[in-house]
Structures are given as C-alpha cells and as structure tokens.
Amino acid sequence: MRAGDATPAHTAGRRDLGNRLRKSRGRLMANSMPQTGGVQGPLRIALAQTNLLVGDIEGNAETVIQRSCQARDEHKAHLAVFPELTLTSYPPEDLLLRPGLYLRVQRSLDRIRRQVHGIDVLLGLPHRDGEATYNAAFLLRDGVVRARCYKQNLPNYAVFDEMRYFQPGADSCVVEIGGITTAINICEDIWVPNPARAAAARGARLLLNLNASPYHQGKSAERESLVAQRAMDHGLTVVYVNLVGGQDELVFDGSSFVMNSDGTLAMRAPAFTEGLYTVDIVEAPEVHALPGEKEPQLPAEESIYRALLTGVRDYVDKNGFQGAVVGLSGGIDSALTLAIAADALGPDQVEAVLMPSRYTASMSIQDAREEAVALGVPYHIIPIEPTFQAFLDALGETLEGTSPDTTEENIQARCRGVILMAISNKRRRIVLTTGNKSEMAVGYATLYGDMAGGFAPLRDVPKMTVYRLSEWRNRQAPVIPQRVLDRPPSAELAPDQKDEDTLPPYPVLDAILELYVEQDRSRKDIEAAGFDPDTVKRVLAMVNRNEYKRRQAAPGIRISRRAFGRDRRYPITSGYE
C-alpha cells in the first residue's frame, strides 16, 4: 500500500470513532444501585440492540457498561441481554487467531464485572478453555460469572465459517434468572431443534438467544417464523436479541423481538436502530411476555434502502474517512449511489464529480447537476477530453494501425478513476463506486476505471432493483430527475451507445442471474424456465469468465441470500463449464 493513498485511518479512525460514540452516549455511573437480591413482580429484560465495532474490545466493553447501567437506572431492568460475541463484535474473523485478543477480552470482562452491579448482564465473547476456543455467552451477576454457555451449532455456510475458529459446545445451558428457569443459547442454536428441545426437557420455560444475524431481503420475517415454531414446539417464550450496524459487506438489521410460547409476537424492536428495548416476563399462569411495542416490519424497498444507508455510514465512519466522493454521470446507478451517500452521511460530507467526455449527452450533465442541487451536495465539473486525448496521443505510435474498440472506451473510464482517486487522496474521502450486481456479474465494468474506489454500495443490487429503489427514494422526496429513470441506460463511452447493445434487456438478464448466481440452477434448468438457450449460454459464460474482475472489485453491501464474495467463491482459473 503506497503512502498517500486514501485508505482507512485504521487505528486512529477506530479510536476516534469510539471516543465520539462514548462521548455522545454520556457517562453513566456504575454501582449506583444496590443489588436487590431478587425480582419483585415481572422480570424486566432490556434487549440491548447494539452497534459495535469489530476488534474494539475495550470500546465495546465500555458500551456494555454504559448500556447496562442505563438499562438498570432508566429502564429499571433486571437483566440486559447483548448480541453474540459482544466484546469482539461479529465477525472477528482471523482476529480470533491472535493470542493477545483473549487477554484483552478477559481484561475487559473483568472490568465489566467490577463496574456493573444491580443488574444481570448476558453478553457474548470468544472464550478459550484449555486448547479449545468457544463462541460463548457469559451471565454476570454482581461481579460473578453465574453461567458460561457455549454455542453448540457452528454455521459453516454462506457468509459463515465458524468451524475455522471454534469448537462446538456439547450441553444445553439452563439457569435461574429472577426465579424463572431460563435457557441460554447463541444464534444458530435456535435454527435447529435440538438445543431448544434439550433446554425444555431440563425445565426451561424462557429462552434467551444472542445473535449476530446478517440482513438479507426478507430475513426478519424468516427469523420470526422459525422462532415462533420453536416456541410452540417446546413451550418456550423466546427473547431474540440481534446485532445492528454495518461490518464490511455485512449489515446487521437488529429487528430484535420476543415470541411467546403460543407463537404470538410480544414485541419487536425497530430495524437498523440502536437502542434498549424492554419487555416484562411474568409467570402466571405460565411464563410469557406482556405485550410491548411492535415496530412494523419494513416494506421491501425501504428495508433494502435502510440496509444500504447503514452499510455506507458505518463503513465510512468506522474506518475514519472524512466523507465520500461519487462520480456522477447522469445515469441511474450513480444517481442512486449519490442519494444513498447523501442520506447516509449528510450532503456536506459528500462530493459529486461530473466528468463529461466527447460522448456525454448534454442531458446527462443537466440531470446530474439537477440531482446534486436537489440533494444539496457540492459538485465539480471536470471534463476528461484533454486527459483522454493525451492518452491517445501517448499511445498513438504503439496502437497505430488498429481500429477503435473497447480499449478507447476503457481509457475514458480510467481517466475518470484517476480523477476520483486524486480527490479522494486530497480530501480523505472514500470513492464510492457505482456499479450494480447485474454489471458485476457479467463483467460490464472497467478495471481501474469505474471499478476504482473503496466501497461499492450497489455491488449486490440488481439493475431492476436499482430502478425500484430510485423510485422509492423519489416518493420520499424527489431528487433523481425523472428523465434518468426513463432513459435507456448507457455507459456513454462510444457514439449512441446503449447497454442493450452488449447485454440482454435487464429484466431478462436479472432473471437469469437470479437463477444461476443465487439459486445455483443449471443451464438446462434456466432454459426450461423459458429463457432463450443462446442468451442463457452467453450470460453464463460472461459470469464465469469475469470472476477475475470481481476479485479486484471494491467490497460492497450484501442484501441478497447470495452475494459475490463471501457467499459465492469460485476459482478464477477453471476448466469447469
């Protein structure tokens, strides 16, 4: 990595962010309430839906202390429940291979034990026991570890690879909390029947489940349906606490909830919002949660848009960038990217750069300026014609006798990449690339050109979803000119160029990609679904041969069941067809 490149201010950025978060939350006095010695009336549980920073063990411990004291003093809660792997946050990945991490975890756990009294605290952490490492949950009460529970089912699919780091726990964990026989388990343990069944067999009637469950479309409804079935099958009231916030390409939506043993929802916390949310548990005639606030589940487009906002905001803030830069072309992808950046970071933290070429239509410049003004984002116009011509002149002798092709188109895209990265270097603002999932799937993008940048908000968003999200954003307040939504998409790198000159129509392309990339369907299956065999063959070939581009692309936010990257790992060099 060269000095001067606009890269995350790793240590300083994380420390500054942690300080800002801690100052904004205020200082709460620990130990200000004596231990009551028992629960009078309902057991009040605070679901600590928390945005944590991977690797910031001391900062995350400070958050636990402050939130626990807030739950005790302001919400009069008897128990605060935090997400999975609270102290390291999730996923810590190969940080778990660092021996010093466990010393820091232990020191931070001891600090919480010393400073928090008068409320039970249930939190997650990685724990070493002899030669084995576990994904653990600890129950703390007045400075004492009252229970230590190990995750039994380690997911090793999609974005998860916990078997790389942890050993599975063997036994269910059942304790008394507020006089109620309570089971404790972690995330994946609720997705399989055995842990809940074993806990119920040991007399548990309340189940506390700690989670770091990443978002994808429809995930909240899936969780609630599954947990309702577990609750009814085993006569358990389930408290489901989930992480919130962005971590690299993953976004955690929170959406914590409580499900009664009859399968009815007692409360639901809001999606993508950090906070403490309380529920009262009573025993008469059986253990159940009293009705609480039920935030509505978000409609599809709003849910995706909120996920994208969360991912962009946290990637920028947690890595210490001073804002974002977006190349604004007048097309739909850059229009949506600019809206997301402005909504996530604030318009004063975003710069738009218009870089017209000899092939840029005047309406593209007009539409780009109109959107920047509507959003309140400052913009610059930097024509690339002089730079493009300089490259053509420099290459003139070398390329003499050849005809114009994609070489000249890519030079234009790379001129723009250089300009954006120069601004990024000077401003310490990250370049947000604007490519969508459809383009990345088939390689309709230029390495070191429009792919140049640090983060890709639309990387997992298909083209037709880009249109739906843009229309949804305009219904909140019109910022994207209607002409941008109506015009045929074009890269504007050649005369009268249209995307459909190279690609199938986007509705067809997205449908094929859905079947092939997300559902792993074969070519014959896709053809049997009614698609033209030649088109299917061409699209699949483009997907397969462009893995090398995706490996070099900026990370982006995962919103689907199967995104490129963590989810879908294909070899670059392969003879498989």
Residues with catalytic annotation? 84, 151, 187
Distance CA(254)–CA(186), nearest Å, equals: 15
Residues 6+ apart with CB under 8 A from 469: 301, 304, 305, 308, 336, 461
Cα 463 to the chain's mean position, in Å?
19
The whole-angstrom separation of Cα 325 and Cα 452 is 12
Task: Assign 83 to helix, strand or coil.
Answer: coil
Query: 481: Cβ–Cβ under 8 A, 6 or more apart, which residues?
Result: 335, 367, 370, 371
Residues 6+ away with beta carbon under 8 Å from 88: 54, 55, 57, 60, 95, 96, 101, 105, 125, 126
If you count them, how many residues does the chain have? 577
- Provide the token pair at 446: 């230029």
Q: How far apart are CA 554 and CA 453, in angstroms?
A: 6
Q: What is the DSSP string of 93-159?
A: GGGGG-HHHHHHHHHHHHHHHHH--SSEEEEEEEEEETTEEEEEEEEEETTEEEEEEE------STT
Pairwise CA distance, residues 383 & 392, whole Å: 16
Query: What are 462's two structure tokens?
Result: 């298909």
Count of C-beta atoms within a 10 Å radius of residue 495: 7
- For 391, the token pair is 């490259």
Burial of 428 (0-12, 13-18, 19+ CB in 10 A): middle
